[in-house]
Amino acid sequence: MRMNVGIIGVGGVGGYFGGKLCRHGAASGANVYFVARGQHLDRIRQGGLLVETAAEGTWRCHPTLATDRIEDLPVLDVCLVCVKSYDLPQVIQRLGRSVSDTTSLLPLLNGIDIYERIRADLDVGLVLPACVYVSAHIEAPGKVVQQSAGSKILLGKDPRMVNRMPHALLALFDQSGINYEWLDDVSPALWSKYVFIAAFGLVGASFDKTLGQMMGSPRLSEHVQAVMREIIRLAEKKGVVLPETIVAESYQKGRDFAPETKTSFQRDFEEAGRPDERDLFGGTILRLGRQLGVATPATQELCEIIERRKPWPV
Residue 82 has pLDDT above 90, yes or no: yes
Residues contacting 164, CB < 8 A, separation 6+: 126, 157, 158
pLDDT tens, position by position, 1-54: 789 999 999 999 999 999 999 999 877 789 999 999 999 999 999 999 999 998
The pLDDT of residue 240 is above 60: yes
- Angstrom distance (rounded) from CA 304 to CA 294: 18
3-state secondary structure of 268: helix
Share of the chain above pLDDT 70, in %: 99
Instruction: Using alpha carbons, list the distances in angstroms from residue 240 to 188, 191, 295.
Output: 6, 8, 18
Q: What is the mean pLDDT of the chain?
A: 95
- pLDDT of 232 strictly over 80: yes
Tell me the C-alpha distance between 99 and 218, whole Å: 49
The answer to whether the beta carbons of residues 104 and 79 sit under 8 Å apart is yes
Which span out of 113-122, 143-152, 250-259 was modeled with the highest average pLDDT?
113-122
Domains in the chain (CATH in brackets) are: 3-184 (3.40.50.720), 188-309 (1.10.1040.10)
pLDDT over 80 (residue 287): yes
Beta bridge partner(s), residue 79: 6, 105
pLDDT of residue 148: 78
C-alpha 69, offset from chain centre: 21
Residue 314 binned pLDDT confidence (cut-offs 50, 70, 90): low
Residues near 262 by beta carbon (within 8 Å), at least 6 away in sequence: 204, 210, 211, 270
The pLDDT tens digits of the residues spanning 172-217 come to: 999 999 999 999 999 999 999 999 999 999 999 999 999 999 999 9
| Rounded distance between C-alpha atoms, residue 130 and residue 153, angstroms | 7
